[in-house]
Amino acid sequence: MNPVYHQAKFINSAPKLIDAPEDQGKEVAFAGRSNAGKSSAINTLTRQKALARISKTPGRTQLLNFFEIDEQRKFVDLPGYGYAKVPLSVKKQWHRMMENYLHKRDALCGIVLVMDVRHPLTDFDMQMIEWCEHTQLPLHILLTKADKLNFGAAKNILLKVQQELLEVDVTVSLQLFSSLKKTGVDEIHAVLDQWFGFE
């Protein structure tokens, strides 16, 4: 386990790409529906209870939130999508901001796509997978809330998702994850180490 992730600190929230930190070094972006457990996953990976804000109201993350791991490496928490009861105009705004970030950010070196293991491969997830395919960005899928199912059922879903992703023309890996039980942390740390060039 690389202790560098435990030093992560929040640097800023950007309503637009122009407000983001300088586009340098390497960034890994966390994407997912607004109730998939994205903030919890970031907090678990960094061993910090409140680094990424967890809200009882899904969809609160409406900004690009940047966290510094060290001078050359960052996490980015992308706006949650698809669940929040917000006006269509706001959803369009989020969509535009996400697209801008994903298309124009040179530092972006990989996407962690967070899916609730009970509801994998939603339309939004498929959009993100297609986008990674289009840009040939490596993709790692976290099937979160694995503690909500027994191990056999969770494993079956993992295998089913794996099967569906055989069609996808991009480097993709996936795993089960639980913020509550802290399972799967070493596995994702190994992926992040590789992307960030720690190995």
Q: Residues 151-187: pLDDT tens digits? A: 999 999 999 999 999 988 888 999 999 999 999 999 9
- CA–centroid distance for 160 within its chain: 20
Q: Which two tokens stand for residue 138?
A: 């490596």
pTM for the full predicted model: 0.92
Counting Cβ atoms within 10 Å, is residue 127 exposed (0-12), middle (13-18) or buried (19+)?
middle
Could you say which architecture CATH assigns to the domain 3-196? 3-Layer(aba) Sandwich (3.40)
Counting Cβ atoms within 10 Å, is residue 68 exposed (0-12), middle (13-18) or buried (19+)?
middle
**Distance of alpha carbon 135 from alpha carbon 144, whole angstroms:** 25
pLDDT digits (tens, 9 = 90+) for 28-73: 999 998 889 999 999 999 999 889 876 555 555 578 899 999 999 9
